[in-house]
């Protein structure tokens, strides 16, 4: 990369939002540069094949597939998808490694339905946290809320807005046997990206923007900033002048969950579980985590874990964290797992400096914050990513959507010159 460059738009980040922005800029005839701090594209989508088969360490599901652009993108690229959801292979519920009695698990399933019935009274003006939503309810309802918050959002239930979660798109899911990360890599393979280049500051005091990077300064008419919400909140990217007060308030109204994964490799056994089954810790110490057994028949188990428990585990060294998770699995399936274990890898998103979390959530009473962050800053900086995607937030689809929208707004602005 040259020390300075005059382009129409500089795009910071090459996850789904940045790649979509780059493609949209090229289609609109804009000159552009894409920079990425990581040594790969894809952001929080990454497929790991070190154990002989593709496994997603980040995003897994093409949510609301009937309206999700990645459904069509996969078809266009010839990458197979199939219907699937988190429980497509069945599941067993445990409390500290002990199988839950059927009547207790039935009460929890019924409690989940009653939890959503309570949510019917919640809206943006009458918002609650998930913890407050189930306050005073029976154990089944409260456990359903805690499991949903920690297992789906990756956060503690007292921190998550019910109203924000309720507005998300609904619909069936698709899964990608070759890996969602593989799909995003293929999609972005024709976008020119400068890898290993980190943006440290954006000066928007003049007519355009000057982006200071670890490889020099880029000057452009506008910028699309697609770094994750966690990075924005951490202050790793300095703005001059500082962000408007409404933007900083909106950032304060959102948080990043800590949903993370460990991929554990085994040899010579199925540990009494069938492919795609989830063994779920629903109660006891550190509930709301699960083991996905043998996805697509592969010789791996994927541990899903979130919230403060994940933050604690992700602060450990990787080897210690893997031993801890193997111990949890052994409590469920027995010592055979330890003998068959062949190694593992952690994707601890809360400790990743390039994301500082898995994906966004709104705090109680702060669901409108996402809409504020979509507004342009000085008519030359646009924020893009899953955190700004409204009904499509918390998804790769939302990131893609906002990247395209940002470039469309910039192209319209430049045409008005």
Give the chain's length.
Answer: 417
**Beta-bridge mates of residue 238:** 201
Q: Read out DSSP for 226-285?
A: ---HHHHHHT-SEEESPPPHHHHHHHHTEEE---EEEEEEE-S--TT--TT-EEEEEESS
CB 177 within 8 A of CB 297: no
Please provide the distance, in angstroms rounded to a whole number, between the alpha carbons at the two ends of the chain. 28
Torsion of CA 284, 285, 288, 294, to 10 degrees: -90
Residue 128 has pLDDT above 90, yes or no: yes
3-state class of 25 per DSSP?
A: helix
Of 82-86, 91-95, 326-330, 406-410, least confident by mean pLDDT is 82-86
**Beta-bridge mates of residue 247:** none
Looking at residue 4, what is its pLDDT? 44
Q: For residue range 188-205, what is the model confidence (pLDDT) as tens digits?
A: 999 999 999 999 999 999
Residue tagged 């003006």 (tokens): 125
Q: For residue range 3-28, what is the model confidence (pLDDT) as tens digits?
A: 445 899 999 999 999 999 999 999 99
Looking only at the bridges linking them, the beta strands covering 300-305 and 289-293 are antiparallel
Looking at residue 5, what is its pLDDT? 52
Residue tagged 């300075």 (tokens): 4
Q: What is the rounded average pLDDT for all residues in the chain?
A: 94
Residue 229 has pLDDT above 70, yes or no: yes
Q: For residue range 270-294, what is the model confidence (pLDDT) as tens digits?
A: 999 999 999 999 888 888 899 999 9
Looking only at the bridges linking them, the beta strands covering 174-175 and 209-213 are unpaired
- Model confidence at 107, pLDDT cuts 50, 70, 90, reads confident
CB-side exposure of 238: number of CA atoms within 13 Å?
6
Q: Read out DSSP for 334-392?
A: -THHHHHEEEEEEE-GGG-TTTSSSSEEEPTT-TTHHHHHTS-BTTTEEE-SGGG-GGG
Q: For residue range 295-353, what is the model confidence (pLDDT) as tens digits?
A: 999 999 999 999 999 999 999 999 999 999 999 999 999 999 999 999 999 999 999 99
C-alpha distances out from residue 108 to 92, 93, 115, 116, 157, Å: 12, 10, 10, 13, 16
- Percent of the chain exceeding pLDDT 90 equals 87
**Cis preceding-peptide flag for 241 (omega within 30 of 0):** yes
Looking only at the bridges linking them, the beta strands covering 47-48 and 209-213 are unpaired
C-alpha–C-alpha distance, residues 190 and 127, integer Å: 43
- Model confidence at 1, pLDDT cuts 50, 70, 90, reads very low
Q: For residue range 46-90, what is the model confidence (pLDDT) as tens digits?
A: 999 999 999 999 999 999 999 999 999 999 999 999 998 777 888
Looking at residue 332, what is its pLDDT? 96
Looking at residue 3, what is its pLDDT? 40
């Amino acid at each position: 990369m040259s020390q300075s460059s005059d382009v129409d738009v500089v795009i910071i980040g090459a996850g789904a939002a940045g790649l979509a922005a780059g493609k949209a800029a090229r289609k609109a005839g804009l000159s552009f540069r894409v920079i990425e701090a990581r040594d790969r594209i894809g952001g929080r989508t990454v497929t790991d094949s070190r154990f002989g088969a593709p496994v997603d360490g980040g995003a897994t599901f093409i949510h609301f597939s009937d309206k999700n652009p990645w459904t069509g993108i996969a078809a266009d690229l010839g990458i197979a998808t199939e219907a699937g959801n988190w429980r497509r292979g069945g599941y067993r519920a445990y409390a500290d490694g002990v199988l839950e009695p059927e009547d207790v698990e039935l009460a929890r399933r019924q409690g989940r339905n009653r939890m959503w019935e309570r949510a019917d009274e919640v809206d943006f003006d009458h918002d609650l946290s998930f913890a407050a939503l189930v306050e005073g309810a029976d154990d089944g309802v409260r456990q359903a809320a805690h499991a949903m918050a920690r297992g789906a959002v990756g956060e503690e239930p007292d921190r998550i807005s019910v109203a924000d979660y309720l507005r998300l798109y609904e619909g069936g899911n698709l899964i990608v046997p070759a890996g969602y990360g593989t799909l995003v890599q293929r999609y972005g393979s024709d976008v020119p990206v400068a890898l290993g280049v980190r943006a440290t500051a954006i000066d928007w005091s003049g007519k355009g923007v000057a982006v200071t990077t670890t490889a020099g300064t880029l000057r452009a008419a506008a910028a699309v900033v697609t770094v994750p919400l966690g990075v924005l909140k951490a202050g790793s990217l300095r703005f001059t002048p500082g962000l408007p007060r409404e933007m900083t308030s909106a950032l304060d109204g959102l948080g990043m969950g800590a949903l993370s994964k460990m991929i554990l490799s085994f040899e010579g056994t199925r540990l009494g579980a069938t492919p795609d089954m989830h063994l779920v810790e629903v109660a006891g110490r550190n509930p709301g985590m699960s083991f996905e057994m043998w996805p697509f028949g592969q010789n791996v188990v994927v541990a899903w874990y979130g919230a403060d428990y994940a933050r604690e585990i992700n602060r450990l060294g990787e080897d210690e964290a893997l031993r801890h998770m193997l111990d949890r699995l052994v409590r469920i399936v027995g010592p055979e797992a330890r003998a068959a274990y062949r190694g593992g890898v952690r994707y601890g998103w809360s400790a990743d400096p390039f994301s500082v979390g898995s994906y966004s959530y709104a705090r109680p009473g702060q669901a409108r914050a996402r809409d504020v962050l979509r507004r342009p800053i000085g008519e030359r900086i646009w924020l893009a990513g899953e955190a700004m995607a409204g009904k499509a937030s918390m998804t790769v689809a939302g990131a893609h959507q906002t990247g395209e929208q940002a470039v469309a707004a910039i192209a319209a602005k430049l045409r008005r010159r």
